[in-house]
């Protein structure tokens, strides 16, 4: 198996060509709830075609904002508790956090770079 | 989900593995059909039909080249020799390995001037079926293709005129968490 996979941490992992770590409930607590600075979380599911359309766009946005904001992914098909806790009604849903508090949310945004960049950066005043 | 089952099979599998989208009602019906026809004379399965699941690593244990996004986008058939057949090619191989359908499967290998016209038709049919899945209530399949939208409108209008129970209104770019109107079959307790 790919070394980057075997070296992945227990509660989050990054695919070989993936700049967005997946979080489970424990990873969410440590990296989002206790995380500092601007954080965006995409609540998604691999079976969701809209999430698939969003994927390359989000990768690009994550690369663009790398030094100013962190972006994570939570799979709602696996993390049902997190989906319930944040009242996720569907996918993709982007929630922006600051110091563990939700400061913005977007459900089903258009999957283009300008829109997603605006959605994830706007709550933090990032340009 | 059956991700652990997917991982357990690995490369020792002697029958092909067909991976299908378990969130899509149309795909579930097709998978059920394959399960029923892909059996040899003594009733053994000639194709192992498995849901894709939600674990990218479990898929990569089956085949390191598998990308879960791409597997959800098109049917994948993992052959025992390590090759992966996709979309119409996977359908043709499923038919070849289904004794009841073998009568038509040979057509897809027929070559005319180096081309495989029947395979081409099958590929086209696959694309059409894939594009019209939202008409049949697959909300996780995304927006219908442009060419299919008039048909979606016709279906909705017909249902409205005939008094059929309307589905929840569609929201652009958004898959509701209760993804299908067609409930997944519940597993039955085994009789004692």
Q: Which domains does chain B possess?
A: 3-102 (3.40.30)
Å from A67 to nearest chain B CA?
27
Q: What is the pLDDT of residues B43-62, one digit of tens each?
A: 899 999 999 999 999 999 99
Contact A108 B171 (CB under 8 A): yes
Q: What is the pLDDT of residues A23-71, one digit of tens each?
A: 999 999 999 999 999 999 999 999 999 999 999 999 999 999 988 999 9
Q: What is the pLDDT of residues A93-123, one digit of tens each?
A: 999 999 999 999 999 999 999 999 999 999 9
* A14 vs A21: CA distance, rounded Å: 5
Contact A1 B172 (CB under 8 A): no
Neighbours of A83 (CB within 10 A): 21
Mean pLDDT of chain B: 84
* A17 vs B62: CA distance, rounded Å: 18
- Segment among B47-56, B93-102, B123-132, B142-151 with least mean pLDDT: B142-151
Å from A49 to nearest chain B CA?
5
| Structure confidence at residue B21 (pLDDT) | 93
Contact A45 B174 (CB under 8 A): no
* A12 vs A25: CA distance, rounded Å: 9
The ipTM (two decimal places) reads: 0.80
Class of A3-124 in CATH: alpha beta
Residue A71's DSSP bridge partners are A40
Provide the CA A38 distance to its chain's centre, in angstroms: 12
Å from B40 to nearest chain A CA?
31
Contact B175 A110 (CB under 8 A): no
Distances (CA, A) of B52 to A46, A78, A83, A120, B31: 9, 13, 21, 30, 12
Point out the residue among B22, B55, B176 whose CB comes nearest to the CB of A90: B176
The residue ranking higher by pLDDT, B58 or A127, is B58
- CA-based nearest residue in chain B for residue A87: B177
Nearest C-alpha neighbor of B81 from the set B72, B93, B71, B69: B93
């Amino acid at each position: 198996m790919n070394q980057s996979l075997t070296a992945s941490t227990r509660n989050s992992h990054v695919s070989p060509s993936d700049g967005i770590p997946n979080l489970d409930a424990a990873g969410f607590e440590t990296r989002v709830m206790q995380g500092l600075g601007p954080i965006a979380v995409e609540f998604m599911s691999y079976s969701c075609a809209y999430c698939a359309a969003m994927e390359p766009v989000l990768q690009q946005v994550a690369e663009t904002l790398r030094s100013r904001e962190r972006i994570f992914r939570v799979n709602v098909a696996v993390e049902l508790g997190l989906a319930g806790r944040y009242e996720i009604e569907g996918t993709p849903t982007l929630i922006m956090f600051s110091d563990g508090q939700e400061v913005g949310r977007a459900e089903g945004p258009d999957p283009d770079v300008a829109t997603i960049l605006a959605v994830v950066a706007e709550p933090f005043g990032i340009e | 989900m059956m991700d652990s089952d997917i991982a357990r099979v690995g490369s020792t599998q002697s029958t092909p593995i067909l991976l299908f989208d378990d969130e899509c009602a149309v795909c579930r019906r097709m998978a059920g059909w394959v399960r029923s026809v892909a059996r040899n004379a003594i009733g053994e399965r000639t194709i192992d039909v498995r849901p894709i699941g939600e674990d990218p690593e479990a898929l990569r244990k089956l085949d390191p080249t598998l990308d879960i996004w791409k597997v959800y986008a098109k049917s994948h058939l993992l052959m025992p020799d390590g090759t992966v057949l996709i979309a119409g090619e996977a359908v043709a191989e499923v038919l070849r390995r289904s004794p009841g359908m073998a009568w038509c499967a040979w057509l897809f290998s027929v070559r005319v001037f180096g081309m495989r016209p029947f395979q081409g038709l099958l590929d086209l049919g696959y694309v059409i079926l894939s594009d019209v899945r939202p008409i049949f209530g697959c909300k996780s399949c995304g927006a219908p293709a442009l060419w299919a939208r008039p048909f979606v409108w016709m279906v909705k209008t017909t249902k409205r005129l005939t008094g059929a129970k309307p589905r929840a209104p569609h929201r652009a770019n958004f898959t509701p968490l209760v993804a299908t109107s067609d409930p997944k079959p519940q597993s039955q307790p085994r009789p004692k």
